[in-house]
Amino acid sequence: MKTTDGETNWISQSSGTTDHLYSTHFESSSIGWVVGWSGRILKTTNGGVNWVSQTSGTTYDLRSVYFVSTTTGWAVGLSGKIIKTTNGGTNWTNQPSGIANDLYSVYFITSDIGWVVGNSGKILKTTNAGTNWATQTSSTTYDLRSI
């Protein structure tokens, strides 16, 4: 669904897949990504009119996607899966999280500093663009679904 008038009216758009889709991120009004079942990643370069499938390299469900630029982004999902792209999603590489918890949300404040959260209160932080992830204490065992 897309809105162009501040959420008063919504326009249905076709993703071209019947897979469940969980999260979307737009870097601009025209360039965006959506992630979902079985490692599904779709990219649009025309505001969602058309979506092109990208090869994620994983079959784990992906639950969240975030880009800091039109080229650099991360997606996270089940069983601690974290993947990163530096070329707009053409190629994705695995970034070992060191955990098996399902991850539900990813957010970066710079190209180096970011967080992921997941089930059982899991929080991971990186300060080197995802090369290493450190566990942070959340003081909860509830699932964390969004950052």
The two tokens of residue 36 are 């979902």
Which residue would you say has higher pLDDT here, 87 or 15?
87
Task: Provide the pLDDT confidence category of residue 22 given band limits of 50, 70 and 90.
Answer: very high
Rounded Cα–Cα distance for residues 145 and 26 (Å): 19
Count of CA atoms in the C-beta half-sphere (13 A) of 3: 6
Q: What is the pTM of this model?
A: 0.92
Residues 6-30: what's their mean pLDDT? 88
The mean pLDDT value of the chain amounts to 95
Beta carbons of 79 and 97 less than 8 angstroms apart: no
Asked if the model's pLDDT at residue 12 lies above 90, the reply is no
The pLDDT assigned to 6 comes to: 82
Dihedral (CA of 71, 67, 100, 19) sign: negative
DSSP per-residue string spanning 64-105:
EEEESSSS-EEEEEGGG-EEEESSTTSS-EE---S--S-EEE
